[in-house]
Structure 1
């Protein structure tokens, strides 16, 4: 029984079986590990989705925006809570029996193939609604609006945007016109100075100054004060009766003074002969020895003769003295005339030195404006273009054609300067002779006579060549203060009382939080336009120059429409979808009474446009922007309407007193039109706030305020005009709400999105819980997790003792998942 057996085959087969089992078990284990990796990744992704699935319901309910409140009841993001939630959600995947331990037949009774555990989890990055300049918020708003019925509002509004774009182009052209006219006005200002210096006419931008006697106020010294020609209208260079009669009495003819002095000098010589004879007779009578005359009658007769001779001598002496005084007065008058006019001539030459380059530049600017106007002819309406063309014809007077000397044909300033040089030389030659003094000495008489002869010979060459100005239509100016006082008195109580009937009903709500999304991202308030009410309240003819150009520049700067918004819906994308979202979810001033609504602000769209902290400030800023827009639009209407344009021109003539200076006349006309357009715009806003629509660009017949009504403008007239206004159901009319749409289009996406988030945050805090902050609203995040798993199919002792095993887990693997809504 005890025999030795060989077991090599058994051993061999046993080893083969072991190897086969090892291969099978290793393959199974490898598949298990790879499956675990996939399952852990899927579990992490599902857990992240589940966490995001806990989105803040009030946010979605009120504003259709998904967002996880990552603060979980605190005031900042709570990453630990997110990690705990992720771990908990993954545990349900890794351990199916979790929470079901007490149930019979629970998954705990079955085999767990993987046995995965989460060893660590980290939140690497969180994306909130505020990230990427608000794009995450914008995308959600746009996504919601894509599936929401937009209605016909957007489709109908696009042509109005296009119409507004055309108006902006018209305003750009008008601004170029105004800049050109203001440069020409610099010439007119200096021409006014020349008029004072050369003709003595006291004139300013407001017109001529009239004395109590109804004549023009004349300067003390002026170039034409020396006038050696007969004082006729033709010689003076004016056909204007007012100028002629006012100026005539101030002209001095040196020849007449000299002729009168020469006559006095001749009388002086004659008087000297008589005086000498009387002196001789007096001395003769006086030399008689009265002591030798015994007859009382003879003595009395002698004394009478002596007294009579003395009186006669004194009479001749008095006449001589008076003649000498008269002659000295005459020469002194000539001296004062010369000394008074010489500095005037020098000042006039200085003005001309400024005018010559200004006139040359004016010609170039007019050419540039003419070219600009022609290039943009097709982009503005025909009536407006024709009005600008008519005004260009007036400007042409400044342009002229340059001759070989470089002068222009409106005024020959170089020729004027040449004449002034001649006259200056003449006066300097005369000046020494006017310093002569005459005494009782006949030698001084001879010198004086010679001086008069020389003065007379030289002064005859005094010239007035090219020193003429156009006074053909100069009239007494109409008093202009009453025109401005009508509007200015309305502004004393503030512009808001003019636009809103009962200012007490304006909401007094304000934002108080300092953790608004726009504040955190340092979004600035929208820039307000120039307060034209402040300028108009102080406006007069001299103070209005440049005002229209300033407010127009503000409008064009503000009307920087997004190019996409002007090219159709296909290229607009999220831009207009956000626009519709804002209009759908937020309210404005003209919507129904919101006094009892739980909102941080009542005028939400106004806040999104302007970004100010209070309802009052936002409403005022928006109304000021509408006022500016309507003022510009009404200005275009007034300029395009021939009747209105001519009425303003006639009134400008009355205000400034003349049309000889075209640029001054045009500037004055523009000031009048600005006030008129402003008054019309006040009525427009009252109409809009009554819920009515007004044309984007009116026709002349649609104007509510007549020019003569501005003199007596008051609140009741404005209210009456607004109530009587009949709407025109034209496609190109705008309501208050459509102006809100227009201004929203002007605002950047970033500003609009963050201000909308401000309102969302504040409103939810008021209605739900005060711990809600947009900065904590998570849309997506990146999580990195580490997972561990023990072996099941290759559970050999020597494997469990390997040195690189970690934390009781044989397998360690990682997953990094990006999850964004």
Structure 2
């Protein structure tokens, strides 16, 4: 019995022990699970802390000079070193994961005794990806720059930026209008050009797109023209010329071929007479006997008369040849001009249709953009459009245009008939010019008949109305003087001392922008002066139109990227960042000039992208000239008095006020030259940090019309001294504000690349020669593998039951971190 009781007590003890073990196992498991979860959080936070600590080692020179937080992933080398980053991260994590680690401080090693409850160790750390300054179209760079400028915003910055943005849109809009206007006038000009050709080919007046050509106060005449072949009287009525100066200029050019034919007949008859007289004298000479008294004297006298008649006969033969040759030459020259005129006539109707269509397109464009254009400018543009429309649609309805379909048909018929009549002239070449009786009779008969047939040569329908002709041989062409003005280059006109322009340059190696040459279209501004100066050359219109068109196209593409207020704010802040951190040529005494930089004209580099300071300075000068020319032209075009002066000069240069498109184009050339010469004063003033009104008026326009032909560097400097150093109105702008305007017209991505060019080169110049922007890290992604040792679940009997030995657990985590 006692034995049984003892046996039972043993079972209870074993049971209780087992229960206790189970309870302990449960407690250990719960504790282990909690520990593991906490260890994972601990490891994850240690990873986050270490990632932040790595980024805390941002490249200080970049922050010091440019207030940008980026990590130099190259760590002083030219190649990004991700393994080193991972090693640094691991070292930072050891402080958190292994508090008992031996540390070194001031050369002494010591332990920090503590209990390592989590037992977390690092198996592996790998950097999976990075986001660098130049990634995502430089979004990270923009984010950093914009983030800094947010805290430096003046209260009125957005309002001010809105004004500058509007100014940039205005210059683009005007450029666009100019391109369309040139399209219209070019189309109408082609029509006028045909009229000029007809006048030149038929009437002989030397006239082209430069206007009437003068010599000794008379109109120059063409070498050959249709009415030069004159078969009637040479007077104003017979030639249908009502203008005295025109007739006086042409009078000496007319040729009378019928007179020449009559002269040929006379010479041929004289030859007959000379031959007969020579024959008689020879017979008389033979009849004189040597024995006759005074025979020698008589023979000498008769021989002398024979020689004299022979000379007269030969002279007559030469005169016949001369008249025949000049008749042939005149006929060939006249037929060539008739052919040229006949080719022109069909093109007039075609060109009229094209011009009418161009007017329609221009009117539609103006109507669509009425709200975007200044009212006064719109009214002037519309007035010009209506004048051109009237010219094109009423062609032939007004007397001075005289190119109706019926009249063109009459001209064409007269020219064709006259061409056929002249064909009969060439048969004269088939008649021998000699003293043979047969040849003489043949020539007399032919020339007599030809004289009668040439009288049918009719020019009564080949008339032009000169009632509107403006004759002024003394009028000066501003285009001619303008060529001389810019012959030595515009920089010489707007800069006091060319030698003072910086000669610094970038190496061009490893630049983030990877641009050594300028992008296509970036020389538009520089070309405008050349295009104006070549106004009279065949391709000037295409070049000038291209200047305005490319400027408008590129600028509108960039402005078009701004879709909302957030994007506008970003653009404004980025532009202000540029102004804050980079020099320009007007930076004289501020702190930016004290910084050692590779280039002196950094903002100019951002805008133009040339490696040399000199080239960037030159480009910005031409940008200023282009913009100021556009805005000055707007004022001149809308000022009726100044526009009237230009029109009067254009009409005097062209001569024919009926040729409205040609006058309009010439007027525009004069206004552009006027605007450009005013822009020379403006640009010189801006380079000296003067304030220039964005849109000018009568009171602040510097160049008078009388000074257009007097412009030189000295006069420009005199005008600049009268400009203000201070802002007198809200629309006054200095050099820095024009830089802002140009920045609004520039692609954000390209701005960032060129900023990074400068940052990289300046840092390499001052701090670290191996520094590269492409190695600058904004954020990165890390994968870490941890091992967490087992502590509260390592019971031998559990391991025996499970047939395993749990030593620890693996834990993987992926995190991203950025500034």
Shorter-chain TM-score: what band?
0.7 to 0.9
Partner of 1:161: 165
Aligned residue number for residue 729 of structure 1: 728
Correspondence for 1:35 = 38
Deviation at 1:676, TM superposition (A): 2.1
Residue 163 of structure 1 and its aligned partner are, at CA, apart by: 3.7
Instruction: Say how many residue pairs are matched.
Output: 804
TM-score (norm 1): 0.84
Structure 1 contact 588–606 (Cα < 8 Å) conserved: yes
1:51 aligns with 2:46: no
The aligned residue for residue 641 of structure 1 is: 639
- In structure 1, the partner of 2:18 is 15
Counterpart residue number, 1:395: 388
Greater alpha carbon shift after TM alignment, 731-740 vs 194-203: 194-203
Deviation at 1:520, TM superposition (A): 9.6
| Superimposed CA distance per residue, residues 214-240 of structure 1 (whole angstroms, 9 cap, x where no aligned partner) | 544434432212333433324323322
Tell me the residue number matched to 1:3.
3
* Alignment partner of 1:548 out of 536, 544, 560: 544
Deviations 1:570-629 (A, max 9, x none): 552422222222222333222333654323333322222222223333222212111111
What SS class does the counterpart of residue 45 from structure 2 fall into?
A: helix
Per the TM alignment, residue 741 of structure 1 is displaced from its structure 2 partner at its CA by: 0.6
Residue aligned with 1:422, SS: helix
Partners in 1 of 2:571 and 2:289 — Cα distance? 129
- Cα drift, residue 421 of structure 1: 1.0
Out of 577, 581, 584, the residue aligned to residue 585 of structure 1 is 581
Offset, 1:118 = 1.3
1:647-695: CA deviation from partner (whole Å, max 9, x where unpaired): 2233334444554543333333333333222211110012212322211
Closer/same/farther in 2, CA of residues 327 and 117 from structure 1, 3 Å limit: closer
Contact 1:548–1:671 (CA under 8 A) maintained in structure 2: no
- The partner residue of 1:67 within 47, 50, 70 is 70
CA contact 1:477–1:657 (8 Å) conserved in 2: no
- Answer yes or no: is the 8 Å Cα contact 1:363–1:398 preserved in 2: no
- Between 166-175 and 517-526, the greater mean CA deviation after superposition: 517-526
> 2:362 maps to which residue?
369
Offset at residue 328 of structure 1 (A): 8.0
Contact 1:356 1:414 in 2 (8 A): no
How many angstroms does 1:169 deviate by?
2.0
Structure 1 residues 392, 247: CA separation in 2 closer, same or farther (over 3 Å shift)?
same
Q: Deviations over 1:677-721 (max 9, x none)?
A: 221111001221232221112124422112332322222211110
Residue-by-residue CA offset, 1:548-568 (whole Å, 9 max, x unaligned): 324323432443364478777
Report if aligned partners of 2:607, 2:746 keep a CA contact under 8 Å in 1. yes
Asked if 1:228 corresponds to 2:228, the answer is no
Residues 481-528 of structure 1: CA deviation (Å, up to 9, x unaligned): 786446634652x43343232344433333337334334999969923
Give 1:244 shift. Answer: 0.5
Matches of 1:317 and 1:106 in 2, distance apart? Answer: 140
Q: Structure 2: how far apart are the matches of 1:327 and 1:79?
A: 102
Say if 2:146 is the partner of 1:142. yes
How far did 1:150 drift? 2.5
1:495 is matched with 490
User: For structure 1, which segment, 705-714 or 738-747, has the greater mean C-alpha deviation from structure 2 after superposition?
Assistant: 705-714
2-structure distance, mates of 1:207, 1:434 = 40
Alignment of 1:642-791 (within 5 A): 642-659=640-657, 661-726=659-724, 729-791=728-790
Alignment of 1:346-385 (within 5 A): 346-385=339-378
Matches within 5 A, 1:135-214: 135-211=139-215, 214=217
Q: Report matched runs for 1:411-490 at 5 Å.
A: 412-429=407-424, 431-432=426-427, 451=446, 454-472=449-467, 473-475=469-471, 477-478=473-474, 484-485=480-481, 488-489=484-485
Q: CA shift at 1:641, angstroms? A: 1.7
The structure-2 alpha-carbon separation of the partners of 1:27 and 1:521, relative to structure 1 and needing over 3 Å to count, comes to farther
Post-superposition offset of 1:44:
1.2
Shift of 1:737: 0.8
Residues 51-110 of structure 1, C-alpha deviations (whole Å, 9 max, x = no match): 22233344334333222333334443333332233223322322334458999x997454
Q: CA separation of 1:308/1:681 partners in 2, compared to 1, >3 Å: closer, same or farther? A: closer
SS in 2 for 1:795: coil
Q: Deviations over 1:632-658 (max 9, x none)?
A: 222222222222222223333444455
CA 1:607 to 1:328, structure 2 compared with 1: closer, same or farther past 3 Å?
Answer: closer
Cα gap change, 1:414 to 1:15, in 2 (>3 Å): farther
- Normalised by the length of structure 2, the TM-score is 0.84
CA-to-aligned-CA distance 1:290-334 (integer Å, 9 cap, x gap): 99xxxx9xx989999999999999999999999898788777765
Which runs of 5 or more residues in structure 1 are unaligned?
none
CA drift of 1:819 comes to 1.4
2:505/2:599 contact within 8 Å kept:
yes
Match of 2:612 among 614, 619, 624: 614
* Aligned CA distance change for structure 1 residues 314 and 139 (closer, same or farther; 3 Å): closer
Deviations 1:356-386 (A, max 9, x none): 5334323332333344334434432343334
In terms of mean alpha carbon deviation, does 4-13 or 643-652 score higher?
4-13
- Whole-Å separation in 1 of the counterparts to 2:516 and 2:709: 50
